[in-house]
């Protein structure tokens, strides 16, 4: 009695009636959902389905999930196994489930509570058709955040140090041109911090003793 993907609503999450009483459902607030007979536990769209597993249940009925996975349609693109860790020693179970997911081509998502599990279901629905380029690029930021972003890659530098630097020197180029002594004059900058920062500016990108990678050796 499998329900064909075409019948799955595209506007809301389809939930299998077996999930009745799952506290996860209470946590789904940002998308609508409805019950329908489906092979998976949740369908977040025609190409995303999910099976739900609580580890406590898994420990009592270790075979259950394997049966469910076998019955799952192979042609759905993203097949998620959503695991809620509600036991104290999940390591062994998670190792075995990881193997099972690899053999059966499932994507395993692990979370601690039902609220977060609900958040996963919501997110899969919401991002179902989102193009992936947002993953490839950085979010545009304002000048101070960008400056903070790069300066704080130096371990010793914190946010108030960024304010100190920005307010003492007039631009990033000026900060880079400053000597260790000048940096040290800034309050909050000890010898170590000043040296670490100056070292990042001055350290060569390429170790001079190391052979350059082949692609650039010619030029």
Partner 1 sequence: MANLDAGELLPFQVDMFRALTDEPDVALILARGLGYQRLLLNLLRLYCDPRMLVLVINAPEALRAALVDRLVLDGHPRAPRVLTSSTPNSDRYDVYLEGGVVFVTSRILVVDFLTRRVPSDVITGIVVCSCHTVVPMSTEAFILRLFRHSNRTGFIKAITESPEQLQGFNALEKLLKTTWLRKISFWPRFEKSLKEALELDPPEVVEVKVPLTDRMANIQQAISELMTSCLRELKRTRPGLDMSQLEEERSLFSAFDIALRRQLDPVWHKLGSKTRQLVADLRTLRSLANYLHQYDCVSFFHYLETLRCSQYAFNSHSYFLHLDATENLYVNAKYRVFETPTRPDASSAPAAEAAPRPQSLQPRLEPNPKWHSLAQLLEEIEELIASGTEQIIDNPRVLICCNDSRTCSQLQTFLQQGEQKTLERQLKRFNKWRQRIDKLNASGTFAVSSKQPDVGGAEEAARAARQQSAAPAAPASASTGKTRARGKRRRIEQAVMIAGTAEAALRVMQQDDNELLFDANGPAFGDGDGDVDDDEEATIIQERDPFKEFEENFSVIAGGFAVILSMQSNSSVSKYLDEMQPQFIIMYDPNLACSREIEVYKASRPGVPVRVYFMLYSQSLQEQRYLSAIRLETHAFEMMVRAKSSMAISEDQDGRSGHRQDLENQMHVVVETSSRKAGGQSVEVTPEIVVDMREFRSSLPAVIHEHNFKLKPMTLLVGDFVLSPDMCVERKSVPDLIQSLASGRLYNQVTAMSRYYSIPILLIEMDENRSNFSLVSSTEYVAGDVDFRNTLSKLVLLTITFPHLRLVWSRSAYATAKTFRILKRHQPQPDASTAAEHGEDTDAVDREGYASGPQAFLRMLPGVTAKNIRKIMEKTTNLKELSTMPLERMERLMGASNGKQLYAFFHNKK
- Please tell me whether residue 182 binds partner 1 under the rule CB under 8 A: no
Residues that contact partner 1, how many (by CB under 8 A) = 91
Shortest CB 35 distance to partner 1, Å: 22
* List 15, 65, 82, 162, residue binding partner 1 (CB under 8 A): 162
Give the separation between CA 80 and CA 87, rounded to whole angstroms.
Answer: 21
Residues of span 84-103 touching partner 1 by CB under 8 A: 85, 90-92, 94-96, 98-99, 101-102
Contact segment (CB under 8 A) with partner 1 among 11-19, 33-41, 59-67, 125-133 equals 125-133
Which residue, 38 or 80, is less far from partner 1 as judged by CB? Answer: 80
Tokens of 111: 């979370």
Give the separation between CA 61 and CA 97, rounded to whole angstroms.
Answer: 13
* List 7, 10, 32, 107, residue binding partner 1 (CB under 8 A): 107
Give the separation between CA 122 and CA 214, rounded to whole angstroms.
Answer: 47
* List 63, 70, 137, 218, residue binding partner 1 (CB under 8 A): 137
Residues of span 12-71 touching partner 1 by CB under 8 A: 29-30, 48
- Please tell me whether residue 218 binds partner 1 under the rule CB under 8 A: no
- Please tell me whether residue 192 binds partner 1 under the rule CB under 8 A: yes
Give the separation between CA 167 and CA 219, rounded to whole angstroms.
Answer: 41
3-class SS at 188? coil
Burial state string for 94-131 with b = 16 or more CB within 10 A and e = fewer than 16: beebeeebeeeebeebbbeebeebbbbbbebbeeeeee
């Amino acid at each position: 009695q499998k329900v064909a993907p075409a019948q799955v609503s595209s506007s809301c999450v389809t939930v299998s009636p077996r999930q009745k009483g799952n506290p996860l459902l209470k946590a789904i607030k940002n998308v609508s959902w409805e019950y329908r007979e489906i092979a998976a536990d949740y369908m977040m769209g025609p190409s995303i389905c999910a099976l739900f597993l609580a580890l406590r249940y898994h420990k009592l009925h270790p075979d259950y999930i394997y049966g469910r996975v076998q019955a799952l349609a192979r042609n759905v693109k993203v097949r998620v196994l959503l695991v809620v860790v509600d036991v104290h020693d999940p390591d062994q179970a998670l190792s075995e489930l990881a193997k099972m997911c690899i053999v059966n081509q499932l994507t395993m998502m692990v979370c601690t509570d039902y609220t977060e599990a609900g958040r996963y279901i919501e997110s899969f629905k919401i991002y179902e058709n989102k193009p992936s380029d947002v993953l490839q690029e950085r979010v545009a930021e304002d000048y101070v955040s960008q400056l903070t972003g790069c300066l704080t890659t130096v371990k010793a530098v914190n946010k108030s140090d960024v304010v100190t630097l920005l307010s003492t020197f007039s631009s990033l180029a000026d900060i880079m041109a400053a000597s260790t002594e000048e940096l040290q004059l800034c309050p909050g900058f000890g010898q170590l911090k000043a040296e670490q920062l100056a070292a990042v500016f001055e350290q060569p990108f390429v170790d001079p003793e190391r052979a350059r990678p082949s692609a650039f050796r010619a030029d």
